[in-house]
């Protein structure tokens, strides 16, 4: 996992702490797609992914920021697709923007993460994950 974080720091231009948080949130979003989803299979095959999710990808609070921001992002998520879809992707993106990232950096993190996953688990599974999540294309 440190290899991925180093690549993001180098190629996207964000600091290590923010790279870890962004990857953890992205992997947490993928984990929320369900236990039987292609994303769950992908996560289980990437060493360190579970630890990154546990530290930074803590579900609704991480995606929405908790408190008032979490409530607002939860409402946005519900209005734009509900749990596990494009609405949750938008909420995650908003949360990362509130951390100071711009859309190009968010896309860079997503691209580097999916490229890293492809190198580790193969193109077929990564494509299944991409195909199974509505709205993910806007982040790649």
- Encode the chain (140 residues) as per-residue pLDDT tens digits: 999 999 999 999 999 999 999 999 999 989 888 888 899 999 999 999 999 999 987 554 443 444 444 444 444 444 434 444 556 777 888 889 999 999 999 999 999 999 999 999 999 999 999 998 887 877 77
Token code pair at residue 115: 């490229």
Residue 138 in domain? no
Residue 53 in domain? yes
Residue 100 in domain? yes
The residue count for the chain: 140
Element at 123 (helix H, strand E): helix 123-132
Q: Domain span at residue 28?
A: 2-130
Residue 135 in domain? no
Residue 139 in domain? no
Token code pair at residue 89: 């992707």
Tokens 């979003």 label which residue? Answer: 29
Specify the pTM: 0.78
Residue 140 in domain? no
Element at 105 (helix H, strand E): helix 103-121
Predicted local distance difference test score (pLDDT) of residue 34: 80
Residue 137 in domain? no
Residue 79 in domain? yes
Total domains in the fold of the chain: 1
User: Residues with Cβ < 8 Å from 35, sequence gap 6 or more?
Assistant: none
User: Residues with Cβ < 8 Å from 4, sequence gap 6 or more?
Assistant: 23, 112, 113, 116
């Amino acid at each position: 996992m440190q290899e991925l974080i180093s690549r993001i720091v180098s190629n996207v231009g964000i600091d290590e702490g923010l790279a870890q948080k962004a990857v953890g949130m992205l992997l947490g979003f993928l984990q929320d797609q369900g236990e039987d989803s292609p994303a769950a299979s992908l996560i289980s095959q990437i060493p360190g992914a579970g630890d990154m999710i546990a530290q930074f990808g803590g579900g609704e609070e991480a995606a929405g920021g908790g408190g008032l921001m979490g409530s607002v992002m939860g409402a946005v998520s519900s209005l734009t697709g509900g749990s596990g879809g494009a609405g949750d992707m938008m909420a995650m993106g908003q949360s990362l923007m509130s951390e100071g990232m711009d859309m190009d950096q968010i896309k860079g993190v997503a691209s580097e993460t999916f490229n890293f996953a492809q190198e580790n688990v193969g193109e077929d599974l990564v494509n299944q994950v991409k195909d199974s999540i509505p709205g993910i294309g806007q982040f790649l």
